[in-house]
Structure 1
């Protein structure tokens, strides 16, 4: 960064300024921004500060002589309402703060609903051995609740659930996959009966893990060939357990048995091809693979959501139903929730949810040293007129940025409608 300090009367349109002031002592939304108009210049000159730091790398190009000149403000016609441009900007900032609080409240509501579902999943899984019929009934109720939430609002989208500390990852994985599968299933036009089958299949898809030794399931490095062959039987084991429960529908058992099969025959355990794999299973296969890539699977390094989608489309798309994969990617966006990005103005942010009207400009939570983390900006990039320069991996961030953005080692997803009426 090429930095220079100027007298506030030398500031001009096109300079990128960095205000050394508390965030609430000025009416601008951030402490760092490019001056875009005369109104901003007027307000900057009214601030209780004599000198301002500017970042020349993010400013328009000016000569040293230009930067040394005192700038005369243009005379403009002002209406009575515009006589105090600062008061107008303060009103705008306070309105933005109000909207930001609403957005954060909805994110917290979504996280609360997600954790309720994880708790229910943990409870029903604990009943699988001692009371399998009861576990199946609890799963039916859990999925019914999720389907009910989903169909209440036509504009439901996938949301990132920011959870700093996670444990019991199998339950998080089950709810992640269930939520993603239900959203995708609805986008593909499934009716409520099909959605319930899909949801139960998603919840129980890894039932066969009960018969896989912990040292294989939790192994950090790559599996040996015998370990891999053993692990690849878990869909078959899961289907056997599901049949023994006695109350799970045939459609659910089929999802459990085939969720690692691929359309090109490269899957396991049966090496089945397209004609042997139903639509519900095809949906589950896509979302399960995505969540595994994002959260690390079988010793693999976790990918960013952007990297996961890119890998599935560029290197693996022969494995999946084209319509299912395309619909999934379209509804997750170019930068899926959980993707860490660098904005065009160099700020770091994490994508919270997509914007259906512009997949290149999602809603993001922005890292900012001058704004307290509990008041972090949650911006709609279409409103801000800001684009994304690049996606980043979590490993490229500092610990301070990771803490501020509340990023976990694992990603969690749920869904939320435009009204945000969750948490039954």
Structure 2
């Protein structure tokens, strides 16, 4: 780093400053930033420091003579009705802290609700054989509750936290797929009856896994050809079990039987094509594939949300209904929430919600070793004029970064509400 120490009277627009102050000791959103205007200069002059470190590599180019000069402020640009020039920045900083705390509270509530729903899914699956009517009733109540929550929270329609523990994977996956399908179904204007079928289809879509040996379901490497052929019968097995239960609607059984079929005939077990696949099945196929790519097992699994969306769109879109896939991506974003990214200015961040006006510039929570995690900086990349350089895999982060960004062993999904309010 090409660093120089200047008196604060020598600071000028275009210099990249590094403030050696506690984060709450100044009104700026970060300790390190490039000076953009006279107002920032005026605020810097008022800080309880005499000298400031400057990174010349990240500053505009100035000669040594220019850097040694004292800079006179243009008071006409810094005054605003006699107000303290830092008051607006302090208000903005405090508002960001308030919004972040509110968001954390909302996400904590979502996380608790999610854990409860995983427990409900486990319970109803246990009742499936012994009390099928009771299990079907419990499934209906669970789905109705999820639909109700989607209606109540217009900003963050759903957050799913996927705890990657193998013994819980099937229940987490069932809740993930059901909730994601319900969100997508609402975006596609399904009525309540259709949403109920869709949600139950999401809960029971992998019912056929009951007939697949654990060594195949949990295998992390590629399946052998015999294993693959056996595994690909699980939709058929699931439909048979569902019919034997006798209480699941026909629409739910159809989803179970066809959730791995593709519009181009490349799916399984029947190689069906578009004419054989209803809208509910088409929705379930998209969200099931997405969750499998993010959270499943095997060589192609464990992708970041951005990698999963990119793969589905660039390499697999012939498999899916175009309207369903485009609606899914429009509402999930090119960089879905939960994606870890490197910004153009080299900062590491995690996407927390999309910007409908520009899917390439979502809202992000930024990692910083100078700001406490509970007060972490949230940026709107449209407002900041900052872009994303690339997405990162968790393995590229330090443990400190993982904990700060609240990634640990969890992967989160967040769907941004419309502005109008409207395993394998």
TM-score, normalisation: structure 1 = 0.91
Q: Return closer, same or farther for 1:106/1:316 CA change in 2, 3 Å cut-off.
A: same
Match of 1:245 in 2: 245
CA deviations over 1:297-351 (Å, ceiling 9, x no partner): 3343411111111111111111111111111111111211111112233221111
CA deviations over 1:131-155 (Å, ceiling 9, x no partner): 2322221111000111122245666
Contact 2:304–2:393 under 8 Å retained in 1: yes
Q: Return closer, same or farther for 1:41/1:278 CA change in 2, 3 Å cut-off.
A: same
Contact 1:107–1:161 under 8 Å retained in 2: no
Mean Cα displacement is larger for which, 67-76 or 113-122?
A: 67-76
Q: Return closer, same or farther for 1:245/1:46 CA change in 2, 3 Å cut-off.
A: same
TM-score, normalisation: structure 2 = 0.91
Q: What secondary structure, in the 3-state scheme, does the structure 1 residue paired with 2:75 have?
A: coil
Q: What secondary structure, in the 3-state scheme, does the structure 2 residue paired with 1:81 have?
A: coil
Q: CA deviation at 1:249?
A: 0.2
Q: Return closer, same or farther for 1:423/1:210 CA change in 2, 3 Å cut-off.
A: closer
Q: CA deviation at 1:218?
A: 1.1
Measure, in 2, the Cα distance between the counterparts of 1:302 and 1:66.
Answer: 52
Mean Cα displacement is larger for which, 331-340 or 292-301?
A: 292-301
Q: What secondary structure, in the 3-state scheme, does the structure 2 residue paired with 1:378 have?
A: strand
Q: Return closer, same or farther for 1:80/1:253 CA change in 2, 3 Å cut-off.
A: closer
Measure, in 2, the Cα distance between the counterparts of 1:248 and 1:195.
Answer: 15
Q: What secondary structure, in the 3-state scheme, does the structure 1 residue paired with 2:77 have?
A: coil
Q: Return closer, same or farther for 1:327/1:415 CA change in 2, 3 Å cut-off.
A: closer
Q: Return closer, same or farther for 1:90/1:3 CA change in 2, 3 Å cut-off.
A: same
Q: Return closer, same or farther for 1:262/1:92 CA change in 2, 3 Å cut-off.
A: closer
Superposed counterparts of 1:2-81, under 5 Å: 2-76=2-76, 81=81
Measure, in 2, the Cα distance between the counterparts of 1:423 and 1:265.
Answer: 22
Q: CA deviation at 1:161?
A: 4.4
Q: CA deviation at 1:400?
A: 1.3
CA deviations over 1:392-420 (Å, ceiling 9, x no partner): 22222222111110114452436575899
Measure, in 2, the Cα distance between the counterparts of 1:299 and 1:214.
Answer: 18
Measure, in 2, the Cα distance between the counterparts of 1:173 and 1:422.
Answer: 27
The structure whose RCO (Cα within 8 Å, separation 6+) is larger is 1
CA deviations over 1:354-403 (Å, ceiling 9, x no partner): 12233222222211111111222233334444332332222222221111
Contact 1:14–1:34 under 8 Å retained in 2: yes
Structure 1 unaligned residues grouped into runs of 5+ = none
Q: Return closer, same or farther for 1:96/1:222 CA change in 2, 3 Å cut-off.
A: same
Match of 2:357 in 1: 357
Paired residues in the alignment total 424
Q: Return closer, same or farther for 1:148/1:87 CA change in 2, 3 Å cut-off.
A: closer
Contact 2:367–2:376 under 8 Å retained in 1: yes
Match of 1:175 in 2: 175
Measure, in 1, the Cα distance between the counterparts of 2:10 and 2:312.
Answer: 52
Measure, in 1, the Cα distance between the counterparts of 2:300 and 2:222.
Answer: 8
Measure, in 2, the Cα distance between the counterparts of 1:235 and 1:74.
Answer: 72
Measure, in 1, the Cα distance between the counterparts of 2:162 and 2:387.
Answer: 23
Q: Return closer, same or farther for 1:324/1:420 CA change in 2, 3 Å cut-off.
A: closer
Q: CA deviation at 1:233?
A: 1.1
Contact 2:295–2:423 under 8 Å retained in 1: no
Q: What secondary structure, in the 3-state scheme, does the structure 1 residue paired with 2:78 have?
A: coil
Q: CA deviation at 1:48?
A: 2.3
